[in-house]
Amino acid sequence: MNNLQPKISLENLIKIYGDKPHIALKLFREGKTKDNILELTNQVVSIADISLNINQGELFVIMGLSGSGKSTLVRCINRLIKPTSGHIYIDGEDIAHVNEKRMREIRLEKISMVFQQFGLFPHKTVLENVEYGLKIRGIDQVKRRQKGLKTLAIVGLEQWANYLPSSLSGGMKQRVGLARALATDAEILLMDEPFSALDPLIRREMQEELLRLQKELHKTIIFISHDIYEAFKLGDRIAVMKDGKIVQVDTPKMIMTQPANDYIRAFLQDIYDVRAMIE
Ligand SMILES: Nc1ncnc2c1ncn2[C@@H]1O[C@H](COP(=O)(O)OP(=O)(O)O)[C@@H](O)[C@H]1O
Ligand SMILES: [Mg+2]
């Protein structure tokens, strides 16, 4: 594989929700705004022409307020949502335009997802939950068990293997969610606000856990967050979204020292305010 090729590359990605997306797309291309288009056609421009490269091994954070299009973007990348227009290359293959069969293969082979609300099966044990992705990949029971237990050990939960998720705290449930995603050895991890439902101290612990794991695993991770502190702590690079567009893509340091515009400055103000309070 060519190392210079980005792992994931988005080109002019557009997603419009509604029953007449192509009418809305035409208006969008004519330069009408998201609000204009909503008013005229009742269609929602959710991703408004995004181009972006994400490199192999990068922990890439997408940050933005609620409604800015983060979940839509990440769901386009595993094509739970089909984009209205544009390209999504994974290892050079345009998954926006492959058929469903090929898409299922790509998901099984390359992509795992961790959800905000954990998404565990309540009637399966912790171990069965972790094994689930291996089961649907047709891996035999002995291997599944081995891999499941090994992955549970990575997140420090091996002694909980035979319990049901209801016995676990929120932080532990999300460790199971993480273990399930890691068990498949998928190279790409999509994480949609995985720690947002957790209490602050547990959340912090999970952030550190993720950084520790990433040092060993070198996955390509897209991590969604609405929290600037989380974004700064985790991101190799951060893309800040607003109204379906990318406002700035940069390292945390560059965003801090060279904010692209007033919108980014307003985000940073929070950090300055906290500093000012204690000085
Ligand atoms: N199924 C849907 N139908 C219509 N509009 C949607 C749908 N899902 C999301 N939207 C709209 O798309 C925009 C982006 O939503 P979303 O991707 O969920 O943002 P975020 O994850 O940043 O909160 C919002 O304006 C939202 O209301
Ligand atoms: Mg969301």
Looking up tokens 């293969």 gives: 105
Closest Cα partner for 178 from 170, 98, 232, 25?
170
Residue 232 has pLDDT above 80, yes or no: yes
Give residue 121 CA to ligand 2 midpoint distance, Å: 21
Residue 110's CB: how many other CB atoms inside 10 A? 20
Mean pLDDT of 191-209: 92
Residue nearest to atom 2 of ligand 1 (CA): 17
Give the pLDDT of residue 2. 53
pLDDT of residue 255: 95
Neighbours of 198 (CB within 10 A): 19
Q: Which atom of ligand 1 is nearest to the CA of 66?
A: 23
Q: What is the largest CA-CA distance in the chain?
A: 59
User: In 3D, which of 41, 91, 48, 53 has the Cα closest to residue 67?
Assistant: 48
Strands (E), 55-116: 59-64, 85-90, 93-94, 111-114
Ligand 1, CB within 6 Å, residue ranges: 17, 44, 46, 64, 66-72
Q: State in Å: Cα 104 to ligand 1 middle.
A: 24
CATH of region 56-86+94-278, choose from 3.30.470.20, 3.30.465.10, 2.40.110.10, 3.40.50.300 = 3.40.50.300
Q: In this structure, which long-range contacts are made by residues 145-153, counting pairs with CB atoms below 8 Å and at least 24 apart in sequence?
A: 147/183, 148/179, 148/183, 151/179, 151/180, 151/182, 151/183, 152/126, 152/127, 152/176, 152/179
Backbone phi, then psi, for 49, in 5-degree steps? 75, 75
For the cut 70, the answer to whether the pLDDT of residue 13 exceeds it is yes
3 state DSSP class of 188: strand
Alpha helices in 115-261 (DSSP H): 126-135, 141-154, 170-183, 200-217, 228-234, 252-257
Residue 68 alpha carbon, nearest atom of ligand 1? 22
Which two three-digit tokens encode residue 72? 């839509």
Mean pLDDT of 26-40: 95
Distance CA 94, CA 32 (A): 28
The SS3 assignment for 200 reads: helix
Q: What is the mean pLDDT of residues 270-276?
A: 81
What percentage of the chain reaches a pLDDT higher than 70? Answer: 99
For the chain, which residues make up each domain, given as ranges?
A: 56-86+94-278
Residue 240 pLDDT greater than 70, yes or no: yes
Say which ligand is closest to the CA of 34. 1
**Ligand nearest to the backbone CA of 75:** 1
DSSP assignments along 218-235, one per residue:
--EEEEEES-HHHHHHH-
Do 38 and 27 contact (CB within 8 A), yes or no? no
Other CB atoms within 10 Å distance of the CB of residue 211: 12
Residue-level pLDDT at 265? 93
Q: Which of 44, 75, 84, 242 to mutate to test the pocket of ligand 1 (most atoms within 8 A of CB)?
A: 44
Average pLDDT over residues 18-35: 95
**Res. 160 pLDDT band, cuts 50 70 90:** very high
* Site to substitute for ligand 1 among 72, 196, 223, 246, most atoms within 8 A of C-beta: 72
Higher pLDDT pick, 244 / 277: 244
Among 50, 165, 186, 168, smallest CA distance to 113 is for 186
pLDDT, tens digit, 9 for 90 and up, residues 89-147:
999 999 999 999 999 999 999 999 998 888 899 999 999 999 999 998 899 999 999 99
Residues of 10-45 as b/e, b for ≥16 C-beta within 10 angstroms? beebbbbebeebeebbebbeeebebeebeeebebbb
Distance CA 22, CA 16 (A): 8
Average pLDDT of the residues of the chain: 94
